[in-house]
Amino acid sequence: MKLKKILFLTAALSFILVSCKKDDYASDTFFAMDTFITISAQDADENLLKNAAKETEKYEQIFSRKDKDSQLYALNASNSSAVSDELLYMIKNAFEISENTNYAFNPCLGAISDLWDVTGAKHVATDEEIAEILPFCSPGEVKIDGNAVSKSDSKTVIDFGACAKGYTAQKIIEYLKENGAKNACVNFGGNVSVCGNSNEKENGWKVGVKNPFLTDDIIGYIVCTDKTVSVSGDYERFFESEGKIYHHIFDSATGKPADSGIKSIAVISSDGFISDALSTALFVMGVEKSLDFYSRRQYDFEAVIITCDGKVFTTDGIKEDFFFFDDAYFDGASYLKFEQ
């Protein structure tokens, strides 16, 4: 297993690690959607990559919560507005999956994110502050009537931070395919979308799953193609105060960082919106509810879950395609334990 791991790591890129591309791949890395994005495609010319980057910026201009020129910013700033078909599609799907996950995924937690401001002011919110804001974070505050979307209160802030990157990553793969690329991989900070294979010797791509306890390392990899792998973890965006970690994924029930026992989760789906939204939702739900949710088969996805106490769980459909490194560290003294 060790040799395999070394070979894999040597061949890998960074972040969620993606394996073994040959020299005929062209890549472009840029910053958009609040993260570093890398687009790689085999035999791609510079124009294709440039256009894919422009396409990404187009989606950012629709879904960004912070960009003052974006469509979502305009909707959040007004209490009622007519929205584009693309924004409407995202709103409808986000609100539907919110209901279907019993609000573990909640696209109206923008004001709670702002209160904690995990990457800025790093504020440990008090119970009083949370109680004041939480009533405005209910998806029920938003009404859809045709293309018109309205919020009952200006304090409600719609946020697609948990689903727009996975959705866009897959859209960019589709764009690359439509423009002639057969083999491609895009990495949107925590969301990797792939098509074809990384080289002719592989049946797809190897997407590494980061070790949330030792983030320069991976615990194994998933072999897949025509899929998006989305990761949610407490190590991605967080701050520490008085020895406690406060991360960026919130539980609607408490208005505080979710404390479900999951340290990180990778969700794999042929739909990038689903993989991204569910990685966040299942992170909030915890292992037991997540596996129960999976068994209902309402959505087509698979998952690899790592718990805070060092266990690794997988859903049934990924067992054959997930390769676990049995020397993946949990802490200095012990290894992660793979639960079969």
The answer to whether 249 contacts ligand AMP (rule: CB under 6 A) is: yes
- Exposed, middle or buried by CB within 10 Å (0-12, 13-18, 19+), for 95? buried
Which residues lie below 8 Å from residue 129, measured CB to CB, with a gap of 6+?
Answer: 115
**Given candidates 76, 97, 161, 229, which one binds ligand AMP under the rule CB under 6 A?**
161
Which residues lie below 8 Å from residue 335, measured CB to CB, with a gap of 6+?
Answer: 310, 326, 327, 328, 329
Residues in contact with Mg ion, shown as a per-residue x/- string from 165 to 204 under the rule CB under 5 A = ----------------------------------------
- Can you say whether the dihedral through the CA atoms of 325, 326, 327, 333 is positive or negative? positive
Contact of 255 with 130, CB cutoff 8 Å: yes
**Given candidates 5, 210, 248, 263, which one binds ligand AMP under the rule CB under 6 A?**
248
| Residue in this structure with the two tokens 């859209």, named with its chain if needed | 171
**Given candidates 87, 91, 133, 162, which one binds Mg ion under the rule CB under 5 A?**
162
Q: How many helices (H) and strands (E) does the chain have?
A: 9, 21
Choose the contact partner of 208 out of Mg ion, ligand AMP, none; CB within 5 to 8 A by kind.
none
* Shortest distance in whole angstroms from residue 26 CB to Mg ion: 28
> Of 16-24, 102-110, 200-208, 287-295, which part binds ligand AMP (CB under 6 A)?
102-110
> Of 127-135, 144-152, 279-287, 293-301, which part binds ligand AMP (CB under 6 A)?
279-287
The answer to whether 276 contacts ligand AMP (rule: CB under 6 A) is: yes
* Shortest distance in whole angstroms from residue 23 CB to ligand AMP: 33
What number of CA atoms fall less than 13 Å from residue 326's CA on the CB side? 4
- Name residues contacting ligand AMP, limited to 212-241 (CB under 6 A): 232, 236
The answer to whether 280 contacts ligand AMP (rule: CB under 6 A) is: yes
The answer to whether 109 contacts ligand AMP (rule: CB under 6 A) is: yes
For ligand AMP, the closer of residues 8 and 273 by Cβ is 273
The answer to whether 279 contacts Mg ion (rule: CB under 5 A) is: yes
Three-class secondary structure of residue 22 per DSSP: coil
> Of 51-59, 101-109, 294-302, 318-326, which part binds ligand AMP (CB under 6 A)?
101-109
- Exposed, middle or buried by CB within 10 Å (0-12, 13-18, 19+), for 104? buried
Buried/exposed 232-267: b ≥16 CB within 10 Å, e otherwise: bbbbbbbbeeeeeebbbbbbbeebebbebebbbbbb
> Of 9-17, 19-27, 249-257, 332-340, which part binds ligand AMP (CB under 6 A)?
249-257
What's the order of all strands across the beta sheet hosting 148-151? 80-82, 148-151, 142-145
202: which 2 tokens? 């592989």
The answer to whether 105 contacts ligand AMP (rule: CB under 6 A) is: yes
Choose the contact partner of 190 out of ligand AMP, Mg ion, none; CB within 5 to 8 A by kind.
ligand AMP
Residues contributing to the site for ligand AMP (CB under 6 A)? 105-107, 109, 113, 159, 161-162, 190, 232, 236, 248-250, 252, 276, 279-280, 284
